[in-house]
Every structure is written in C-alpha cells, then in structure tokens.
Amino acid sequence: MKIVLQRVKQASVTIDDTVSGAIKRGILILLGIHRDDTKEQADFLVDKCLELRIFPDKEGKMNHSLLDIEGAVLIVSQFTLYGDCKKGRRPSYTHAAPPQKGEELYDYFVERMRLKGIPVETGIFGAMMQVELCNDGPVTILLEK
C-alpha cells in the first residue's frame, strides 16, 4: 500500500457535482493498493496514520497526532499511485490491485479507521473524483508498507 497523507485545514471530494465527503481539520489520505497487499498491511498503516505526530503543539512543534487533536479523515482511493513510468510516456498500472481486490482492501481500510472512533469521510471507489484541499503547513507525508 502507498499513501499520500496531507495535513489539511479542510478537504472535500466531489463526484458528479455532488460532495461525497468533506472534513475540517485533519488528514487527507490518498490510498493506493498494490496487487499483493494484505489486511495486515492495512492495519499497520491505519495505526501509523492515526498516530503520526504531525500536528503542532502550543510551541508550534509537531508533537500531536490526529487522535490527540480529535481530527477527521478523508480517504480517497487512488490506483494511480502505482503508476509505473519507467518506460514510454503512458504509465503502466500492472502493479495496482485489480478492482475487486482493491475495493475490498479500500473498504477494509476505511472500516478499520472508523473503528478507531474518529470521523471518516470517503470518496467512492473507482469513481472520477475532484479533490479539493487546503494543505496545512504544507505537510505531506508518503507512507508505504
């Protein structure tokens, strides 16, 4: 799994002119799923995302996690994170999970995040989406497991 995690002041995802999910302060997770990924990897990354100390304390140091600030999460599936651009000009997506497996692990990741008791919003797996965000910092972290 690959994650692009962004600390945001706000973020939303729109599908066909309808907002599918929106959050205020928290994190936006762009989630790419590899064809060989497992639920164990998802569990590890859920905990990592929630516990990363990327929010400022009173002195402005990044000492607080999403759990500490009681923030929210917006999760958007993004198979293009597995785009291989080594050859030619068109990315190859052969390393991305096939749709059925990708959706299963995406749903699992979302459910595991919700079980942690934080507000979770999502896009729709496989849909064409427009993502808007106000990156706070900017803080952008790449995670892979």
To the nearest 10°, report the CA torsion of 134, 50, 130, 24.
Answer: -50
Q: Which of 78, 109, 122, 125 is catalytic?
A: 78
Give the integer Cα–Cα distance in Å for 64 and 77: 26
Reply yes or no on whether 79 is catalytic.
yes
Residue 23, CB-side half-sphere exposure with 13 Å CA sphere = 28
Q: Which of 38, 80, 130, 140 is catalytic?
A: 80
26 sits in which H/E element: strand 26-32
CA-CA distances (angstroms) from residue 77 to 2, 3, 5, 56, 93? 10, 10, 12, 27, 14
Residue with tokens 């569990």: 43
Task: Note the residue count of the chain.
Answer: 145
Q: Which of 79, 109, 122, 125 is catalytic?
A: 79
- Residues involved in catalysis: 78-80
